[in-house]
């Protein structure tokens, strides 16, 4: 039953991923990605990683995806269709995808096979009974333990702050140039900002 | 449901993402493809945390999950910057065609 | 910089003296060249002169110490030579004694000490003289550093203890002379002359380099002690074959080295650069002709004399070139009308004397060195006085001069002494050295060279007194009175200052003082230093000391000084008859000079011959095909290669399209390949 659910979930996930990369409509493509992320969150629940699943929903779907949707809405019309890529590019992409798939599948077989064999051979109960399941409590303790993950945890906050400042610096209009005259507003009407970005 | 099947799923997702990253012309679409690939990596992290690598005898499930959390945070930072660049490019050029952004050509 | 050797009882102070002798001229060059020359030409002139004065003082100290320590201890220094210090600069091989070791040292032996003294003395006086001479020249700030540099290069050359250092400084001398001859670079003739001097001597130096390598590598070292040993000559003296050509290494090597000396000393047919080098300022000419540049060739030949004397053919070549140049240049000097050119040809002729003296064998070696010594003083005097005259009349032409005796009395008397000295009149210095050369040539049985020497001394007396009478006697300015040398006069005319006007002629103290000082050695030094040269200045090496002693015992030729003097007096008398009394040279029928006179005044048309060879033969037969090969084949090949590289780069640049997606694809494929190599993927 659980396997059945897993494989169904996999099928939906890959289908939605296909929609994401193939759809000509950017908005539909974004919705596809949203679906993929949701399916992944469900998969994480299946893998008994509730914390990651929660974060996936909150940060990815609630934060990043909303951001992406905003960007889509800001920069393109909803009904617009993107031009299809050239056959040459499709050929190249197929080769790349096939090679990546082959490489990763090979690795998966190698790494996963041995691990699965170890699990299958070990006596039932020794590993099964929740030994491999991270509870939210233990994760929190590890995260705030100076000998655990406290330092990377704090560093991540610095990284996020820097990214935030950088994003604001990159995206804001050329108000730093005195007399440039560009006011606050969406990207759509500020095309005349001369000091923005690299000169072509 | 075992480690191999999870890794296979992630490999397929990665390949689809790679396909999209190479073919998509729109910058946002390419970024979304990139997200698919990151997602594949996340699945790997969690799967290894759940099933253990070759060392099932000494599992550390918290470490794997926390790794995934950090990866999410880094992705958030990356996306924030990437979308800021998208906005800036769109403001300057009025379109988001990747092929046009060839300032690095030799 | 590695080992410093202070040999034997030569103390630390001696080493310091050696460093100082080289350092002061270099210091003068650096200070004046980099800083002071631009700021204040006057200050730079005085600084340079002061530093040269210090060098002279050190040279005197060095000579004194050398005499007291080395010459007084024949037991400790059998070869009368000592190495003051030596540093290994670069060593290609194992240890500092390997064959290919470039060393810098300070060698003390009779000729190097003599040359150090002469160079620093002459250079100091020329520096002082130049303060006056360059007083009105705007570029004087550039002049003094170069003059000091010239001195430094020559000093470095004469004190060197090995061929590599010699070659190094030899080239520096060449560069310095190039810069100084072309000092007035706005004048096209000066630029042409400097290029001529540099290119001709460079051509000869190429042979020098080849000869040096042949000799040094076969003899197993570049140090003079090794090269001048009999073992080196024995090691070299074998025949190598290349196809049907066979060479004796000794002959080829020494001839190559002699070619360098040949060019530097401007022996025929390399002589053409020296008269043109008169385009430089007169102090430079004075330095070039008396102590530095041209003497370097004779010095090098003398330095390697033991090696040369093992190579009979080379010695024969030395003798022939020297003898021929002596007569040839003296004959040309008889008809020239340019003040400095007369002196230049006289230098050539005197250098020929020194050179053929070396060629006649070990007996004439001291005489040759003796002649360098005496010649330096009177030739320097002659040039400096010519500079005074040129300054006074603003022309280089003897026919614009005349009657200078009244205007320039001090210069007149000093020049008289020098003319008597160079003509070989007793008891002036030239008499002794020239007589020694003739003696040695006669005693060793080289009668051809001996006759050439006699001939030269007669001609020398003639043209020098002609010069003297034309410049200082008679009345001023009878330009164009005789037709024979009008063409040559026009070529050499147009001296220093085109807007020559009759302003009062005067003798500045700074310019006359060096001349008067030089008059003393010109007159006396021959008499006083003859004993030293005959006794101490002998070629290094064991067997040759007795040979030198033999030459001293020339009792059989007591008539020689008399003959030489008679010849010289005859020359003076003829010259007095033509130029002193009648004042306008030999009278030619119907006012036209005969062919022999025109040939002489045009210097045997050697320059024209070279031009013909270079322009017609060289340009048509050699340069044109070479240019074709250069353009079509060499350049074509390079163009093809560069074109191919360009095309390949273009193909490569296609990959650098700036298309990020392509980069991603390639990166992923690369990752795949990496994992393949790591054995992780299919």
pLDDT given at position B38: 93
Instruction: Provide the CB-side half-sphere exposure for C539 (13 A, CA).
Output: 33
Q: Hey, what CATH topology would domain B3-100 get?
A: Helix Hairpins (1.10.287)
The single-letter DSSP state of residue C106 is E
Q: Between chains, do A96 and C671 touch, taking CB under 8 Å as contact?
A: no
Nearest beta carbon to residue C664 from set B21, B102, B103: B21
If DSSP codes are grouped into helix, strand and coil, which group holds residue C84? strand
Beta carbons within 10 angstroms of residue C76's beta carbon: 12
Cβ-based contacts of C668 with chain A (< 8 Å): 96, 99-100
Q: Is pLDDT at A9 greater than 90 in this prediction?
A: yes
Q: Is pLDDT at C507 greater than 80 in this prediction?
A: no
The rounded distance, in Å, linking the Cα atoms of B105 and C267 is 65
Q: Between chains, do B96 and A191 touch, taking CB under 8 Å as contact?
A: no
Which of residues A137 and A14 earns the better pLDDT score? Answer: A14
The rounded distance, in Å, linking the Cα atoms of A108 and C549 is 101
Which of residues C92 and A67 earns the better pLDDT score? Answer: A67
Give me the mean pLDDT over the B79-93 stretch.
88
Q: Is pLDDT at C570 greater than 90 in this prediction?
A: no
C-alpha dist (Å) from residue C285 to C25, C377, C380: 19, 13, 9
Which chain C residues in 638-677 lie under 8 Å from chain B, judged by CB atoms?
A: 652-653, 655-661, 664-665, 668
- Return the percentage of chain A with pLDDT > 70, whole number: 78
pLDDT given at position A37: 94
The sign of the dihedral angle between the CA atoms of A169, A170, A172, A173 is positive
Is B30's Cβ below 8 Å from some Cβ in C?
A: yes
For chains A and C, count residue pairs whose Cβ atoms are closer than 8 Å.
Answer: 31
Task: Give the model confidence (pLDDT) of A161-177 as tens digits.
Answer: 999 999 999 888 765 54
* Partners of C248 in the β-ladder: C239
Nearest CA in chain A to B33: A21
pLDDT given at position C675: 81
Quote the minimal CA–CA distance from C648 to chain B in Å.
13
Q: Is pLDDT at C97 greater than 70 in this prediction?
A: no
C-alpha dist (Å) from residue C676 to A59, A95, C489: 36, 16, 88
> Residue C193: which of C288, C290, C323 has the closest Cα?
C288
If DSSP codes are grouped into helix, strand and coil, which group holds residue C354? helix
The rounded distance, in Å, linking the Cα atoms of C522 and C545 is 28
Cβ-based contacts of C652 with chain B (< 8 Å): 106
Of A31-35, A75-79, A169-173, B25-29, the least confident: A75-79
Is residue B30 within 8 A of residue B24, CB to CB? The reply is yes
pLDDT given at position C587: 57
Mean pLDDT rounded to a whole number for chain C:
80
Is residue A100 within 8 A of residue B15, CB to CB? The reply is yes
Task: Give the model confidence (pLDDT) of C117-156 as tens digits.
Answer: 999 999 999 999 988 888 878 888 889 999 999 999 999 9
Q: Is pLDDT at C289 greater than 60 in this prediction?
A: yes
Q: Between chains, do A97 and B16 touch, taking CB under 8 Å as contact?
A: yes
The single-letter DSSP state of residue B99 is G
> Residue C396: which of C349, C332, C463, C344 has the closest Cα?
C344
The single-letter DSSP state of residue C503 is P
Which of residues A162 and C523 earns the better pLDDT score? Answer: A162
Beta carbons within 10 angstroms of residue A168's beta carbon: 11
Which of residues C616 and C215 earns the better pLDDT score? Answer: C215
pLDDT given at position A179: 45
Q: Is pLDDT at C631 greater than 70 in this prediction?
A: yes
Domain ranges of chain B: 3-100
The rounded distance, in Å, linking the Cα atoms of C241 and C599 is 43
User: What number of residues does chain A have?
Assistant: 200
Q: Is pLDDT at A111 greater than 50 in this prediction?
A: yes
The rounded distance, in Å, linking the Cα atoms of C160 and C172 is 13
Q: Between chains, do A103 and C669 touch, taking CB under 8 Å as contact?
A: no
Cβ-based contacts of C681 with chain A (< 8 Å): 102-103, 106-107
pLDDT band at C5 (very low <50, low <70, confident <90, very high): very low
The rounded distance, in Å, linking the Cα atoms of C498 and B61 is 102
Q: Between chains, do C668 and A110 touch, taking CB under 8 Å as contact?
A: no
If DSSP codes are grouped into helix, strand and coil, which group holds residue B7? helix
Mean pLDDT rounded to a whole number for chain A:
80
pTM of the prediction? Answer: 0.61
Task: Give the model confidence (pLDDT) of C154-171 as tens digits.
Answer: 999 999 988 889 999 999
Is residue C158 within 8 A of residue C119, CB to CB? The reply is yes
Q: Between chains, do B30 and C661 touch, taking CB under 8 Å as contact?
A: yes
Of B30-44, C464-478, C588-602, the least confident: C588-602
> Residue B65: which of A6, A37, A14, A54 has the closest Cα?
A54
Is residue C161 within 8 A of residue C79, CB to CB? The reply is no
pLDDT given at position C490: 39
Is residue B51 within 8 A of residue B68, CB to CB? The reply is no
pLDDT band at B64 (very low <50, low <70, confident <90, very high): confident
Task: Give the model confidence (pLDDT) of C315-356 as tens digits.
Answer: 888 888 889 898 888 888 888 888 888 888 898 899 998 888
Quote the minimal CA–CA distance from B20 to chain A in Å.
5
The rounded distance, in Å, linking the Cα atoms of C406 and C412 is 8
Which of residues C580 and C20 earns the better pLDDT score? Answer: C20
The sign of the dihedral angle between the CA atoms of C410, C413, C414, C416 is positive
- Asked if the peptide bond before residue A126 counts as cis, ω within 30 degrees of 0, the response is no
Of A163-167, C191-195, C223-227, the least confident: C223-227
Quote the minimal CA–CA distance from A92 to chain C in Å.
8
Helices and strands (H, E) in chain B, number of each type: 3, 0
The rounded distance, in Å, linking the Cα atoms of C5 and C591 is 69
Q: Is pLDDT at C308 greater than 90 in this prediction?
A: no
Give me the mean pLDDT over the A133-159 stretch.
86
pLDDT given at position C120: 92
Of A34-38, A67-71, A172-176, the least confident: A172-176
Q: Is pLDDT at C58 greater than 50 in this prediction?
A: yes
Give me the mean pLDDT over the C416-420 stretch.
89
Cβ-based contacts of A106 with chain C (< 8 Å): 680-682
The rounded distance, in Å, linking the Cα atoms of C164 and C213 is 9
pLDDT band at A57 (very low <50, low <70, confident <90, very high): very high
- Return the percentage of chain C with pLDDT > 90, whole number: 11
Is residue C5 within 8 A of residue C108, CB to CB? The reply is no
3-state secondary structure A157-169: HHHHHHHHHHHHH
Quote the minimal CA–CA distance from B79 to chain C in Å.
17
pLDDT given at position C582: 60
Most A CBs within 10 Å: which of C665, C673, C678, C679, as the mutation test of the A interface? C665
Give me the mean pLDDT over the C362-382 stretch.
88
Is residue C501 within 8 A of residue C392, CB to CB? The reply is no
Q: Between chains, do C657 and B105 touch, taking CB under 8 Å as contact?
A: yes
pLDDT band at A187 (very low <50, low <70, confident <90, very high): very low
The rounded distance, in Å, linking the Cα atoms of C390 and C294 is 23
The single-letter DSSP state of residue C94 is S
């Amino acid at each position: 039953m659980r396997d059945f659910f897993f494989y169904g979930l996999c099928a939906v996930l890959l289908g939605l991923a296909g929609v994401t990369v193939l759809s000509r409509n950017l908005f539909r493509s974004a919705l596809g990605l949203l679906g993929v992320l949701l399916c992944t969150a469900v998969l994480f629940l299946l893998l008994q990683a509730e914390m990651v699943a929660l974060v996936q929903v909150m940060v990815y779907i609630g934060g990043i995806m909303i951001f992406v949707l905003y960007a889509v809405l800001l920069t393109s019309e909803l009904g617009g269709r993107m031009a299809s890529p050239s056959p040459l590019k499709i050929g190249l992409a197929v080769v790349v995808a096939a090679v990546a798939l082959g490489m990763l599948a090979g690795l998966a077989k190698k790494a996963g096979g041995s691990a699965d064999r170890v699990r299958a051979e070990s006596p039932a109960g020794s590993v099964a009974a929740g030994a491999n399941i991270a509870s939210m409590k233990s994760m929190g303790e590890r995260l705030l333990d100076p000998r655990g993950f406290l330092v990377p945890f704090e560093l991540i906050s610095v990284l996020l702050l820097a990214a935030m400042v950088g994003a604001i610096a990159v995206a804001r209009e050329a108000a730093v140039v005195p007399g440039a005259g560009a006011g606050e507003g969406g990207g759509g009407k500020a095309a005349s900002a001369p000091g923005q970005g690299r000169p072509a | 449901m075992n480690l191999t099947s999870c890794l296979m799923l992630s490999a397929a997702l990665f390949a689809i993402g790679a396909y999209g990253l190479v073919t998509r012309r729109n910058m946002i679409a390419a970024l979304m493809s990139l997200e698919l690939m990151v997602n594949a990596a996340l699945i790997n992290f969690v799967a290894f945390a759940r099933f253990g690598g070759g060392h099932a005898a000494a599992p550390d499930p918290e470490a794997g999950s926390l790794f995934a959390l950090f990866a999410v945070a880094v992705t958030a930072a990356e996306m924030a910057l990437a979308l800021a660049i998208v906005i800036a490019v769109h403001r300057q050029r009025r379109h988001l065609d990747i092929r046009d952004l060839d300032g690095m050509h030799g | 910089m590695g080992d410093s050797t202070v040999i034997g009882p030569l103390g630390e102070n001696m080493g310091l003296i050696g460093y100082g002798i080289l350092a002061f001229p270099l210091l003068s060059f650096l200070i004046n060249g980099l800083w002071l020359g631009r700021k204040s030409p006057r200050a730079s002139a005085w600084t340079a002169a002061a530093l040269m004065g210090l060098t002279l003082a050190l040279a005197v100290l060095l000579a004194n110490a050398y005499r007291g320590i080395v010459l007084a201890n024949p037991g400790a220094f059998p070869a009368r030579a000592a190495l003051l210090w030596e540093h290994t600069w670069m060593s290609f091989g194992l240890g500092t004694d390997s064959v290919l070791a470039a060393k810098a040292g300070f060698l003390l032996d009779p000729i190097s000490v003599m040359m150090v003294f002469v160079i620093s003395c002459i250079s100091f006086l020329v520096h002082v003289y130049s303060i006056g001479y360059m007083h009105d020249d705007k570029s004087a700030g550039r002049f003094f550093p170069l003059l000091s540099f010239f001195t430094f290069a020559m000093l470095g050359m004469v004190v060197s203890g090995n061929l590599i250092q010699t070659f190094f400084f030899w080239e520096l001398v060449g560069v310095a002379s190039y810069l100084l001859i072309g000092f007035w670079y706005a004048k096209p003739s000066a630029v042409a002359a400097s290029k001529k001097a540099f290119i001709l001597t460079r051509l000869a130096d190429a042979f020098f380099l080849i000869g040096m390598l042949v000799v040094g590598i076969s003899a197993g070292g570049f140090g003079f002690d090794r090269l001048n040993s009999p073992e080196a000559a024995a090691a070299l003296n074998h025949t190598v074959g290349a196809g049907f050509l066979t060479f004796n290494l000794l002959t080829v090597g020494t001839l190559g080295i002699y070619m360098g000396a040949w060019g530097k000393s401007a022996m025929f047919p390399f002589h053409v650069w020296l008269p043109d080098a008169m385009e430089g300022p007169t102090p430079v000419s004075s330095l070039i002709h008396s102590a530095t540049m041209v003497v370097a060739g004779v010095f090098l030949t003398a330095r390697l004399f033991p090696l040369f004397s093992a190579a009979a053919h080379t010695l024969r070549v030395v003798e022939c070139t020297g003898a021929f140049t002596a007569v040839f240049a003296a004959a040309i000097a008889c008809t020239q009308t340019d003040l400095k050119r007369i002196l230049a040809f006289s230098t050539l002729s005197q250098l020929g004397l020194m050179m053929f003296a070396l060629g006649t064998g070990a007996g004439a070696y001291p005489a040759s060195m003796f002649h360098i010594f005496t010649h330096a003083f009177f030739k320097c005097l002659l040039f400096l006085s010519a500079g005074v005259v040129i300054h006074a009349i603003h022309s280089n032409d003897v026919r614009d001069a005349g009657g200078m005796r009244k205007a320039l009395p001090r210069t007149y008397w000093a020049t008289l002494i020098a003319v008597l000295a160079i003509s070989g009149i007793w008891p002036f210095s030239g008499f002794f050295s020239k007589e020694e050369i003739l003696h040695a040539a006669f005693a060793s049985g080289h009668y051809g060279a001996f006759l050439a020497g006699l001939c030269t001394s007669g001609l020398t007396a003639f043209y020098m007194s002609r010069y003297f009478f034309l410049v200082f006697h008679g009345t001023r300015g009878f330009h164009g009175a005789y037709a024979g040398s009008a063409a040559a006069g026009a070529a050499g005319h147009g001296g220093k200052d085109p807007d020559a006007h009759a302003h009062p002629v005067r003798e500045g103290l700074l310019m006359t003082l060096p001349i008067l000082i030089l008059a003393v050695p010109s007159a006396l030094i021959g008499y006083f230093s003859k004993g030293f040269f005959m006794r101490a200045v002998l070629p290094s090496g064991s067997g040759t000391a007795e040979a030198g002693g033999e030459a001293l015992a020339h009792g059989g030729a007591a008539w020689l000084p008399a003959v030489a003097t008679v010849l010289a007096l005859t020359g003076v008398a003829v010259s007095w008859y033509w130029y002193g009394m009648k004042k306008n040279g030999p009278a030619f029928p119907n006012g036209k000079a005969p062919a022999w006179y025109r040939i002489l005044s045009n210097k045997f048309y050697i320059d024209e011959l070279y031009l013909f060879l270079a322009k017609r033969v060289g340009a048509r037969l050699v340069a044109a095909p070479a240019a074709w090969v250069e353009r079509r084949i060499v350049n074509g090949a390079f163009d093809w290669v560069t074109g191919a590289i360009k095309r390949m780069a273009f193909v490569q640049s296609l990959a650098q399209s700036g298309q990020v997606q392509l980069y991603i694809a390639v990166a992923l494929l690369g990752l795949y390949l990496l994992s393949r190599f790591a054995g992780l993927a299919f």
